[in-house]
Every structure is written in C-alpha cells, then in structure tokens.
C-alpha cells in the first residue's frame, strides 16, 4: 500500500513491523474461521452430521466474536492493550488445536466458539492500538494496512488451506492456523513494546460504555452495521449466485472469487488514501456506499455473461472496500480513553451486520431469487449513506 503512515500521534515513528504484525494478526484471526469453508463436507462426514449443520458454525463463531470484541475493547481501555493483543492470538491457537483434536461435533462447536471469541478479543483492540499511534490524517492508510489482512485470507488463506488440506486433512489445517496464531502473538509481543503515552491531562479520563456511547459514535456504529449488511448480502452468496446463474462447478468459481478478493484489496488501498486526503470522511463513506449499492443492482440485475458478472462483482466490492477506511478512521477519532471500547463495539456491530445479511439473504433467495439482492442492497446502501451524510452535516 503506497504512502504508508510513519508518524505517531505523539511525534515519534510507528514501526512498519507493528503494521505488518497487525495485518498478520488479522489474517490469522480471519483464517481461524474462513479456512473451514473448503472442508465442510469432509468435516460433516467425519463428525457424522449434515453439511448445513456444520455450516452453522459460521454464525455461532460470529456471535462469540462480536461479544468478546465488545468486552475486550472496554477492558483494553482500563487495563491496557498489550495483554489482549498477545493473549488473543495465543488463546486462539490453543482453541484451533482443540478443534483439531475434537472427536465429536459438540467438541468442534465448543472449541470453535471459544476460538471465535479469542479472535474477537484481538481484532477490535489492534485497530485501537494502531489508531493511538498514528496522527488522525494518517489513520486511513494505517488501518487500511491492518484491514487488508482479512482480504488476504480470501486471496491466500483459503486457497492455501485447500491445498494443504489435500495432504493433512481439515485437522492438519487447524494445526497450521494455530501456528499462525503463535507467530502473530510473537510478532505483536516484539512490535508493541513502548506503547504510546495514554496519560490524560487533568486526571484519569472517563472510560466504559457510558462514556463511549455519544450520539456521533452511535451514528458511526449504525453506519458500520449498514455497511456490513451491504457487503454481506452479495458477498455471502456471490459464489452461489455464479454457480446458479452460469452452472459452474465449485472449482470453476475459484478464479472469480480470487478476483472478487483482489477488488477488496484494491478498494482498501484506495479508501485508505481517500480517507486521509479528502476533507470529509463521512461524505467519502457515503459516496462509496452509494457506488456499491448501484453496482449491486447491476451485478444481480444484468447477467449477459460470466465475465460481465465477474467485472461487476469486482466493481461492487471495490466500492464497498473504499468506504471502510473512512468509517474506521472516523471511529478512531475519539478520546484514547474510550477508543478500545468504540473499536470493539464496531467489530460487534460488524458481526450483527454479517448475521443479518446471511439470514436476510437466505430468506430473499428462497422467496424471490437473486434478482432481489440488488434492490435490497441498494436500499440498505441508501439508508446508510443518508445516515453518513447527516453526520457530515452535523459536523
């Protein structure tokens, strides 16, 4: 990502190693759940359950992820961020070893649920830590670096997991993910030394949910939930849409999914730059969100051939990713005493958005088909953009 931020908020220099460690940590946390996707059939067969039941692990881990992120964010404001930055990936690694050793579906559910919570312990806190070390007009790029770890999971993590799984099976892949967690913890142990000065003039600043939940913050959190619904509605069902529309096999969907993920990375790069260079981040968010809604209408409403659908999918996810750094940088522009709480609540809101998108998308697909996805996504995008524009007007 060009133009990586270097200056800390306190006048020093943020370590590129810390940015890399944060990105790798998000990559490892995302791999703890996403890399399970290629092995649902194999896991269901080994554990003697149905594939839909096994797929419900995504929703279960999302809930624990969101709850843990909210609690860890508030805790990091009171007790410091390093324990969560280092302990979260280490605990996630232990849980992945538990998943690998489980001999029943219940065992996998228990370990995967706790593992999702451990990943949630880390994710909100790393965004708060990076934000505390960077000046406001560099946060879009810094957070873009860290957020790109999630996109790399789709581009590299899932394909590598599928390849490695052909030799060691799904249990071996979970051991590999555990190794990623240990490496991430070691990187963060080294790179997060010398934390920024968090002393507050005039005594200890107010912390906790009550201090964090101001009207502007609640507006931003609502924008975050809307953005995740706008992303999740098409993204969760993108592969199914291509398979159904163009009669593709699972293997034939790999390249379109890789292009989709690359659009996410490109949008994050562009969005980080725009968040730091344009004067109003909320208007930047609103414009990009509207672009994603319009692209979704074209994606699901116009299907002349597969290359066109793949190009529209790329365009849709790029617009969506452009919006995200502006939102994250806006959320980070709160007092340091509540920044962990706010960033943790954002991850919790994202989990709510994901669950809403998955459930609502299933209902719409069953009753109205994929043609309904475009207008529905556009409606959510419009409402979310209006909330953002109203926030920009209020200053």
The SS3 assignment for 13 reads: strand
Give the pLDDT score at 59: 76
What pTM was computed for the model? 0.85
pLDDT at res. 11: 40
Six token digits for residue 329: 């940088």
Q: Rounded to whole angstroms, how far apart are CA atoms 74 and 208?
A: 6
Cα(25)–Cα(27) distance, integer angstroms: 5
The predicted structure's pLDDT at residue 2: 47
pLDDT averaged per 10 residues in sequence order, the chain, 395 residues: 49 74 96 86 89 79 92 92 96 97 95 95 94 90 91 84 90 96 96 68 59 88 93 82 84 83 92 94 96 96 94 95 95 90 92 85 86 94 94 67
Buried b (16+ CB within 10 A) or exposed e, 150-161: bbbbbbebbbeb
Q: What one-character-per-residue DSSP string does 176-226 give? A: HHHHHHHHHHHHHHHHT-SPPP---TTSPPP-SHHHH--HHHHHHHHHHHH
Dihedral (CA of 49, 113, 354, 188) sign: negative
Residue 289 backbone dihedrals phi, psi, to 5 degrees:
-65, -45
The answer to whether 329 and 281 have CB atoms below 8 angstroms apart is yes
The confidence score (pLDDT) of residue 159 equals 82
Which residue is listed with tokens 């070893």? 97
**H-state helical runs in 102-157:** 105-133, 139-152
Strands (DSSP E) along the chain, which ranges?
none
Q: Please, what are the domains in the chain?
A: 15-194 (1.20.1250.20), 208-395 (1.20.1250.20)
Q: Is 9 helix (H, G, I), strand (E, B) or coil?
A: coil
Q: 300 Cβ partners below 8 Å, 6+ apart?
A: 234, 241, 370, 371, 372, 373, 374, 377
Q: With contact defined as beta carbons under 8 Å apart, do 293 and 381 qualify?
A: yes
Task: Please return the burial class of 106, using the count of CB atoms within 10 Å of its CB with bins 0-12, 13-18 and 19+.
Answer: exposed
């Amino acid at each position: 990502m060009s133009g990586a931020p270097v200056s800390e908020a306190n006048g020093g220099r943020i370590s590129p190693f810390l940015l890399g460690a944060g990105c790798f940590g998000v990559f490892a946390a995302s791999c703890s759940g996403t890399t399970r996707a290629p092995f649902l059939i194999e896991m269901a067969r080994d554990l003697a359950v149905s594939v839909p039941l096994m797929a419900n692990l995504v929703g279960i881990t999302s809930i624990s992820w969101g709850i843990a992120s909210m609690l860890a964010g508030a805790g990091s404001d009171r007790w410091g961020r390093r324990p969560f930055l280092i302990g979260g990936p280490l605990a996630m690694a232990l849980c992945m070893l538990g998943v690998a050793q489980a001999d029943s579906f219940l065992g996998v559910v228990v370990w995967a649920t706790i593992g999702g919570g451990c990943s949630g312990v880390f994710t909100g806190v790393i965004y708060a830590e990076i934000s505390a070390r960077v000046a406001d007009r560099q946060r879009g790029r810094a957070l873009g670096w860290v957020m790109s770890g999630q996109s790399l999971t789709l581009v590299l993590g899932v394909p590598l997991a599928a390849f490695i799984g052909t030799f060691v099976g799904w249990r071996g892949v979970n051991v590999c993910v555990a190794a990623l967690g240990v490496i991430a913890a070691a990187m963060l142990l080294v790179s997060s030394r010398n934390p920024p000065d968090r002393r507050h003039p005039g005594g200890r600043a107010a912390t906790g949910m009550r201090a964090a939940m101001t009207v502007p913050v609640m507006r931003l959190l609502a924008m975050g939930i809307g953005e995740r619904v706008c992303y999740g509605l098409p993204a969760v069902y993108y592969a199914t849409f291509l398979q159904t529309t163009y009669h593709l096999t699972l293997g034939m969907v790999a390249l379109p999914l890789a292009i989709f993920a690359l659009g996410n990375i490109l949008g994050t790069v562009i969005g980080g730059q725009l968040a730091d260079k344009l004067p109003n981040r909320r208007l930047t968010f609103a414009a990009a969100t509207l672009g994603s809604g319009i692209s979704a209408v074209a994606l699901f409403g116009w299907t002349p051939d597969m290359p066109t659908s793949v190009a529209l999918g790329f365009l849709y996810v790029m617009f969506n990713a452009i919006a995200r750094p502006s939102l994250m940088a806006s959320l980070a522009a709160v007092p340091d005493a509540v920044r962990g709480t706010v960033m943790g609540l954002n991850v919790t809101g994202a989990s709510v958005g994901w669950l809403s998108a998955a459930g609502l998308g299933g209902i719409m697909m069953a009753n109205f088909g994929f043609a309904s996805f475009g207008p529905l996504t556009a409606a959510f995008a419009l409402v979310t953009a209006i909330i953002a524009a109203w926030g920009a007007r209020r200053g």
